[in-house]
Amino acid sequence: MARWDVVRAKGDARGFHSHGVPAGAQRSVRLLDVSGSALALGSTQSIDDVDLDVAKRLDVDVFNRQSGGGAVLLDPGAQLWVDVVIGRSDPLWKDDVSLASQWLGDVWVEALRSVGIEGVVHRGAMVTNALSSVVCFAGLAAGEVTVGGEKVVGISQRRTRAGARFQCSVPLRWDAVRHAELLAPGIAASGGSIEDVRVFPATLGDPAFDLRDAFVEALP
């Protein structure tokens, strides 16, 4: 089994998202806790999706991350955030982007099972809807994990010549009202409803840190 470099860190979400895929990328895992609230938009997502007055009132930092997809709301203690990096020469690397994160979904399924949650890896085509370009958890990509049809693990990826960085988010709680307030313009323009977003907060079983430990243990 190849060794994984595991780091735990706490800090601001904007700073964590600024980290790219390092040259000579090797297997690494970063277990991240945010010190303040942030709304990380997809790389091409418009700031017009956000009610900036609400973001200011709620003290939520808003920025675009380097990976695609809809917005991810990050609040202290509200989710598990795990970044995983592999190099292009790693046996886990897949040239086909639709297959690239399926191994990672399998790892999450094993970790979730160890704390009493039975998840399933999505292996089909990307599932999109009216809100998926606005709210990350509204859509479903290959490698992501669901429980009873509700999304429990979201995965976005950034691929470079050096390797790939997979950003995993597992909600411990889901605040639909907070999402609806912050993303009101984008939701209204999409014609969708935040109530249609099906999310499974991973609040069963052992405490959150045990799930992260279980994830590290399940890595190949």
Encode pLDDT of 132-168 as tens digits: 999 999 999 999 999 999 999 999 999 999 999 999 9
Strands 145-147 and 150-159: antiparallel
Q: In this structure, are residues 118 and 139 in contact, taking their beta carbons and an 8 Å threshold? A: no
CA separation for the pair 204, 173 (Å, rounded): 11
Alpha-carbon distance 83 to 31, whole Å?
Answer: 7
Q: Name the domain count of the chain.
A: 1
Backbone φ and ψ of 100, nearest 5°: -60, -35
Cβ contacts of 49 within 8 Å, gap of 6 or more: 41, 71, 134, 183, 185, 186, 189
85 strand-pairing partners: 28, 165
Please give the residue that has the higher pLDDT: either 83 or 1. Answer: 83
Residue whose pair of structure tokens reads 């190099």 in the numeric block: 87
Measured distance CA(170)–CA(151) in Å, rounded: 9
DSSP helix/strand/coil, 59? coil
Looking from the CA of 108 toward its CB, the CA atoms found within 13 Å total 30
Q: Is the pLDDT of residue 206 over 90?
A: no
pLDDT(212) > 90: yes
93-135 pLDDT, tens digit each: 999 999 999 999 999 999 999 988 999 999 989 999 999 999 9
pTM of the model: 0.95
For residue 18, what is the domain's CATH number?
3.30.930.10
What is the residue range of 71's domain?
5-218
Residue written as token pair 């323009």 = 189
pLDDT band at residue 203 under the 50/70/90 scheme: confident
pLDDT at residue 205 in the model? 54
Instruction: Please tell me the predicted confidence (pLDDT) of residue 68.
Output: 84
The residue type of 203 is T
Q: What's the rounded Cα separation, in Å, for the pair 151 and 145? A: 6
